[in-house]
Amino acid sequence: MKLWEKGFTIDRKIEQFTVGNDREIDLHIAKYDVQASLAHAVMLESIGILNSKELEQLKNGLEGISNAIENGEFIIEDTFEDVHSKIEYELTKTLGDVGKKIHTARSRNDQVLVALQLYYKNSLKEINKRVKELFDTLLNLAATHKDAVLPGYTHLQVAMPSSFGLWFSSYAELLIDDVHVLNAVEKIVDQNPLGSAAGYGSSFPIDRNLTTKELQFSTLKYNVVAAQLSRGKSERSIASALGGLANTLARFAMDICLYMSQNFGFISFPDELTTGSSIMPHKKNPDVFELIRGKCNKIQALHTEMLLITNNLPSGYHRDFQLLKEHMISAFEDLKNILDIFNYAIQQIIVKDVDLTDEKYKYLFTVDSINNLVVEGMSFRQAYQEIGSQVQNDTYKPDLGKPHTHIGSMGNLCLDEIRAKYPK
């Protein structure tokens, strides 16, 4: 069944190419299409297109479909083009002509738009919830390991002393920036496009304020052409926000892979969280974090894909938009899983004691040594040259005890202040 059927059979090859894997993808938005259909039916009854009995029948029919979706019993057979045609078929099969009225005053264009907006809005909330859980975990780890020294690196060369408290809380604070962007994007998708129909509105006296209230959007996309033009623009904005979060997680995962290697040896994980080699029995591979890194890098590429698919399209609907759904939904589902497994695994991290007397850390405290000379009255440039000369002559003796106390340093992590910054 197709919502646009006109009594002829489309070429099978053409159908397979144009439908693609929409049926599988649409299972993610099925419950949102039901929600939108219910709100649309309520609105149709309010303007006299449906009577109260018909509305009650449609409510019951949609509730049955919603229960099937919730229980995993809802499928979209290959005789249907998409979730929208399947739902209308089920309503018509159960309710007869009443089911055929559900599509009055709407198009499949605004039908998929509103279902996607609801999916995006809910998924952004789920992402935000998971980010907050990871944020809390990282600050707790920072507090637990605030005094554990961690060598800091620039250019992958030993640089200055850092700490595990700094490391954990640095990524926690970066997550705040990502959340600000996610919240901004949520405002973009929190606009009701239902009622724009095929992109040019309807001659029916529909009540768009009513559907906005029923679907709990904060506002609506007033201009019907703007509603249609938002297809692609919303996806580009979301992809950019998801990519920013993915960048933070990918960099953190890279740190973990690096610090787990024997050449660094700063951290470890229980054997149950790592994998081995088929021929090297000593291996403990950080496969989870390597996959997180790879998946996050893939998500960061999504914005370019969304941009190139929609760039320079003229106003109005185009079938190109169908190609946005698969990887947008995939990115959301992947990122939810990534955040879940990241939070689960990082809670089990094993922080190791770092032997700062090891020869390779000999110059970790040169800057502190310079500062000691400055405090004693020497100019910074003269102190720099003095310590530099000691390094060149191999006479430098590190001073391991210089405290770092300024705001945001290893001796003053400001964890409460970082926690207070998190968006409410």
Q: What tokens were used for 332?
A: 């959301």
How big is the chain by its Cα radius of gyration, in Å? Answer: 29
| The one catalytic residue among 218, 261, 277, 389 | 277
- Where residue 422 falls (left for φ over 0; alpha for ψ -120 to 50; beta otherwise) is beta
SS3 (DSSP) at 404 = coil
| 210: enclosing H helix or E strand | helix 208-214
Of 344, 378, 334, 351, the C-alpha closest to 127 is 334
Residue listed under structure tokens 């600050």: 139
Q: Are 25 and 329 in contact (CB under 8 A)?
A: yes
Extended strands (E) in 240-381: 267-268, 350-351
Beta-carbon contacts of 361 under 8 Å, excluding residues fewer than 6 positions away, are 151, 158, 354, 355
Residue listed under structure tokens 């000369």: 389
Q: How is residue 314 annotated by DSSP? A: P
* CA distance to 99, 371, 374, 400, per residue, from 385 (Å): 85, 12, 12, 20
CA pair distance 299, 309, nearest whole angstrom: 16
Q: At what angle do helices 164-189 and 108-144 cross, to 10 degrees?
A: 160
| The one catalytic residue among 52, 155, 203, 278 | 155
Active site residue 277: yes
Helices (H) and strands (E) in the chain, counts: 16, 6
CA pair distance 349, 288, nearest whole angstrom: 13
SS3 (DSSP) at 85 = helix
Cα end-to-end distance, the chain, whole Å: 46
CA pair distance 376, 370, nearest whole angstrom: 10
> How many other β-carbons are positioned within 10 Å of the β-carbon of residue 380?
11
Q: Which residues are catalytic?
A: 155, 277
